[in-house]
Structure formats: structure tokens, C-alpha cells
Amino acid sequence: MLALTLAPLQAQEDELRIQLGDGVVAIDPRMEEDELSRFDELFAEARLIFTDAIVADKSQDTLEAAFYFDLLFEAMSDIEQLPYLDERQQLEFNRFLNAAVDFYETDSRTLEHVETSLTVSALRDELGRYTRSLTFDLGAVSTIDVEGANRLPITHNDHVERIIQFFNTQGRRNMQAWLNRLPKNAKFIGAILEEEGVPRDLIFLALIESGLNPRAYSWKHASGPWQFITSTGKRYGLKRDWWIDERRHVEKSTRAAARYLSDLYEEFGDWYLAMAAYNTGETRVRRAIRIHGTRDFWKMHVLPRQTRNYVPNVLAAFLIAQDPEKYGFTITPDPEVPWDEVPVDRSLTFDILAQIGGFPADSLRLYNPELRQKATPPVAKDQPYTLMIPVGYKQQFLANYDSIASQVGPDLAAVQPLRHRVRRGESLYSISKRYGVPIRRIQQANDIRNRDRLRIGQVLSVPLTASAVKGRQADVPTPRGLRKLYHTVRPSDTLGEIAEAYDVGYSRLRSWNGIRSSAAGNIKVGQRLVVWVPKAWNGGQSLDPPAPLPAPDLSGMEKIYYTVQIGDTLGDIAETHNVGLSKLRLWNGMSVSSNHLRVGQQLVIVREAG
């Protein structure tokens, strides 16, 4: 098994193309070259991390192995977020993910001794195997009366009892850790749930989803205490970018989960069905209702096995927590971790923030699990980031903030990451000179202690500052026969509309302005974009386009995102959503004659709200 997982996963020589229904090819090899290259870089980095994880595990270094596996699945999550993966890349990704999961669950010698971000996901798989032999007969069914308003209905039957037995045996160590973690979370999360108007007992859903671990991660790319996938998190206002993953923010994700569960309850009128839909999606629950002709969760045998276990999981956790001694558990509550909140109006690293407040830098990772880069994100002065710090340090932090933060300047942290693969003969000094980034910042971003120890093929994250990005843009030579204009972004502008107004390529417009494909929707009103046009272009000397882009009336409208499937054509998608083909192209930065799609590509569609 080890030899298999370490073997290079060879890419296929020929580019794979998927033919769509009308013969249109879904992959244009001339487009999105930057994304294809980024896949190769991130994938190479993930393979190196996996090697480090295996070495640490074989050396029986438990904490080091846990660290590398957390890092590995963070890297895999980054790859999965890339908007353009062709069939060959998706195949490589899935093979590698399966190999990593197989090693984690089957071959690891040390990980069973420590909780990692993947523990709950692995335990859920084990529970699925444990309950495989369960029949549909529920045996004796009893209803537990729970005092208080707005509480979950609690049912005890043979299915629930079987899962309680699982948590008393194979899952005992995990359940004990979760019960110890419950008291310090129950007061805070319970209060939020009640504020949002849903039963406070839904905290047991989070306990089953993640063990109340904000860094929990699943094979299906769900993250945080409530295990949101990116698309659902985005729908309920949770931001995820290179800097921050609000799915890990306990308060924000709890409020998002409460709103989602409230919407599900409003549709299905039953908390068990709402929880089932939270696990498997609304469509499958609607289908089960239609097939079985009932809204009784216990009679919906067509639901996936994991979902049929899901609600009993929550009920079993509730029953164990109400009377732990009855089930052989003794709760030793984890110490509470009180915090203070302070505003941070610029991007600063953990080391600088710790210097300002006088507390250990490592504590910020505990208090702010949503921060992904050991730094706060760039923000506007009037919209500071709210940082959580250890209680008792707020006064010192506020007193020292201006004097220390002003010394490091506004561009300390990165506005955008850049991946650099180390080549023969390169050093941190030469890489630093190439990108205009101080050596110490590259060391911090990559946790490099010995600046002389780089290895060929190593992938470094280079944190470009705002000034460095501007400098790199300024170094771009003037394209022959072109002149430079600037376009100031206005309300309702999109990159696609701007590219069409100047008759330039969408990918070129991104390239000129250092905009990654995944960030193409994040242009801001007032932002100045570089545009290169032919010297003979009849747009005059104005900094704005000669024919101003009309600002469409978007009142009563909403944006949705559609993921291209095998067999889709642009015309079919436009017809399905009742929108014009030309508008669909315009919203997505496509030329007026383009029909190229890529399987997995996300298309923006503007339609009437509701």
C-alpha cells in the first residue's frame, strides 16, 4: 500500500476532451492556462506534504503526522476549489485523494492516538459499516419528553440504541472527547441557536458533524463545526478565500447553520426531515416523501444509509449527554477559553499581533480558526477585521496598536499568494529579489527555519504585497502596437462586460491586472484596471470607454451559479434558465460567438429574485 501511495501519479500524455451533446468541446486548451498550471503546482505540493505525513507516521511521530495530514487536506481543499479541472486532472485528484484517505484510515500507525481534522469523517465511515446489518424494524419506540420551549422531539428506538452501543465501544474515545468539549460550547452556541429561533438541542447536530472542532474536515470538502461545503456556506453568507474560511468561525457558521436549518424546517415541517436534508440535500428528501407517500422519517428507507444513521446519531448523542453515567461516561469539562475582541484595520501577521498584545502568537490560531494564513486579511479602514485574543490583553493591545502597526506599514501581509517551485541554483535570496518580497516574509509564510535548506522542486508560497503586485504589473513591457488605458470600475460592471466594451480578451484583461480566475468576480467599485488597446482604437483619450457601459436595473434580480455538467451546451443552459444566449455569454466574459464550456465550470446567471 505504501509503495502505491508514494508512486507518482502519471498524467496522461494526450489532453482528454469531453464531447458535449451538440459536438461542442468542453475544454479549450488555449484558455485558462494559468489555472492548469496552478493545478500542477498545488498538486505537486500536496504530494510532497503526503510524503512528509507518511514519513512522520512511519517514524511514529503522532503530532507531526497529525499536523501534516491536516495540512494535506487543506491543500486538497485548495485544489478542489479551482474552477477549471479537466477530466485528466479530476481523475488524478480523485486517485490521490482516495490513496490518502486509504492510508489515513487503514495503514496509519499513529493517527488513532490523536484527534485530527479528519477524525469525525473517518468515524462516520466506521459507523456506517457498524450499522450495515440493521433491519428496518425499529423495535420498541418511545418518545422522550424534554422540558422547555422550542426543543427537539426525542425518539428512542432500536436504531438509536444500536448507535449508543457504537459510541460505547468503537466510538467511545471520540464520544468522551466530544462530551468533555460540550460544556464550554453549549452556552455560547446554544444562545446563538435560540437567538436565531431554532432549538438549542441542534448543537448535537454540530457535535455529530464535527465533534465541535472548528477545524474538522471531511472527504467531501466540508469544513468547520457545522461542516458546510463551500457552495452552501456561500449561499448563507460564509466567505472563503485565501485569507479566511468563515465556515470555521464558530459564531458566523452557527448563525448560518441555524438559518439553513430554519429554512429546511419551514419547507418540510419536521425537524427530523430538516436534519436529514441538511445531511443529504433537499432533493433527496423531497424524492423520499414522494416515493413513500409519508413525512415520517423512520419510514423513508430510500434515503442513503448515511442519512438514515444521521438523525439517530444526533438523538443518541443527546441521550448520552443527558445521562452520561447511565451510559458509562464521566464528563471532565475542557477548560473554558474566554476571549476579548479587538479591531484590526490592516493585514498583520500573528507575530506582529502577538507583539502588540503581549500574548503568545500560537494562541491566535486557537482563538481565530477561520484565519488560514497566520495573518489577518486586508481590509478597508472603516471595516476592520474583528480579531479574538486571550482575555486580559485587550487594554495592552489597544494601547500599543497604533505605535507598533504604523512601523510595519500597511503592506505587511500578502494581498495575493503566489506559488513558486524551487529550481536548481535558486536560493531564498534570489527568490526574494525576483518577487520583491523580504526573505523573512517568505520564511514566515513557509515556516522555514534554516534559510539555506531549500530543495529542488519544493513549492513555496510567496506572499506578494500590494506594492509588489503593482511593481510586477509595472514591469510588464508595452505590447507592440498597443497603448494603455485605465478603466475605473463602476457599479454593476463585470470583467466580461469591460472586456467586451474594449474588444479585448477576457483572460488577457485578467492577466494585465493580476486577477486570478477564482477572484474574477471580486472587482470593486472605484478599482482602476489596466486595458491595452490598439493605437488606432477610436476610443479617444478618455480614461473611460467611449460608449459607457449601461448600468442595468438589477432591482428585484439575483445572481445564481450553475455548474456545467457532462452533456451541457450553452444553448441548453440558456433555455433551461429562460435567459438570452448573448446575455449568458456577456455575464460570463465570453466572446459573442463562443460556445466553449468546461465540465465543472461555474456560470453566472442573472434572473428575477425568487
93-126 pLDDT, tens digit each: 777 877 777 677 667 766 655 555 555 555 555 5
Q: What is the model's pLDDT at position 22?
A: 27
Helix (H) / strand (E) element for 344: namely strand 339-344
Look at residue 540 and give its three-state secondary structure: coil
Q: How far is CA 433 from the centre of its chain?
A: 32
Look at residue 342 and give its three-state secondary structure: strand
Q: What is the model's pLDDT at position 63?
A: 64
Same fold, 119-327 and 482-608: no
Lowest mean pLDDT across 29-43, 50-64, 149-163: 29-43
Q: What are the grid coordinates assigned to 423, written together? A: 529550481
For residue range 479-494, list pLDDT tens digits in order: 556 777 778 777 666 7
Q: What is the model's pLDDT at position 65?
A: 72
601 or 460, which is more confident?
Answer: 460
Q: What are the grid coordinates assigned to 370, written together? A: 477561520
Look at residue 309 and give its three-state secondary structure: helix
Superfamily of structural domain 482-608:
LysM domain (3.10.350.10)
For residue range 276-334, list pLDDT tens digits in order: 999 889 999 999 999 999 999 999 988 888 888 899 999 999 999 999 999 999 999 99
> Is it the case that residue 2 has pLDDT exceeding 60?
no
For residue range 23-34, list pLDDT tens digits in order: 222 333 333 444
CATH of the structural domain 416-474, one choice from 3.10.350.10, 3.20.20.450, 3.40.50.1000, 1.20.1300.10: 3.10.350.10
Domain boundaries, the chain: 2-113, 119-327, 339-408, 416-474, 482-608
Query: Amino acid identity of 525?
Result: V
For residue range 72-87, list pLDDT tens digits in order: 766 776 676 665 667 7
The CATH fold of domain 119-327: Lysozyme (1.10.530)
User: Taking the CA atoms of the chain, what radius of gyration do you get in angstroms?
Assistant: 26
Please, what is the average pLDDT of the chain? 74
Q: How far apart are CA 489 and CA 101, in angstroms?
A: 45
The sign of the torsion formed by the CA atoms of 205, 214, 65, 457 equals: positive
> Is it the case that residue 437 has pLDDT exceeding 90?
no
% of the chain surpassing 90 pLDDT: 23
> Is it the case that residue 412 has pLDDT exceeding 60?
no
Contact indicator for 237, 261 with CB cutoff of 8 Å: no
For residue range 333-346, list pLDDT tens digits in order: 998 889 999 999 88
For residue range 147-197, list pLDDT tens digits in order: 666 789 999 988 898 889 888 887 788 889 899 999 999 999 999 999 999
> Is it the case that residue 550 has pLDDT exceeding 60?
no
207 or 561, which is more confident?
Answer: 207
When pLDDT is cut at 50, 70 and 90, the band that residue 443 belongs to is confident
> Is it the case that residue 428 has pLDDT exceeding 90?
no
Contact indicator for 215, 74 with CB cutoff of 8 Å: no
Q: State mean pLDDT over 509-516.
A: 69
Q: What is the model's pLDDT at position 15?
A: 30
For residue range 357-377, list pLDDT tens digits in order: 999 988 998 899 999 877 888
When pLDDT is cut at 50, 70 and 90, the band that residue 205 belongs to is very high
Q: What are phi and psi of 154, to 5 degrees?
A: -115, 120
Q: State mean pLDDT over 234-245.
A: 86
In 383-530, alpha helices (H)? 394-408, 428-435, 439-446, 466-474, 495-502, 506-512
When pLDDT is cut at 50, 70 and 90, the band that residue 475 belongs to is very low
Q: What is the model's pLDDT at position 473?
A: 39
- If one counts every other C-beta atom within 10 angstroms of the C-beta of residue 145, the result is 7
Closest CA to 337 of 397, 253, 250, 258: 250
Contact indicator for 589, 506 with CB cutoff of 8 Å: yes
When pLDDT is cut at 50, 70 and 90, the band that residue 543 belongs to is very low
For residue range 126-138, list pLDDT tens digits in order: 555 555 545 555 5
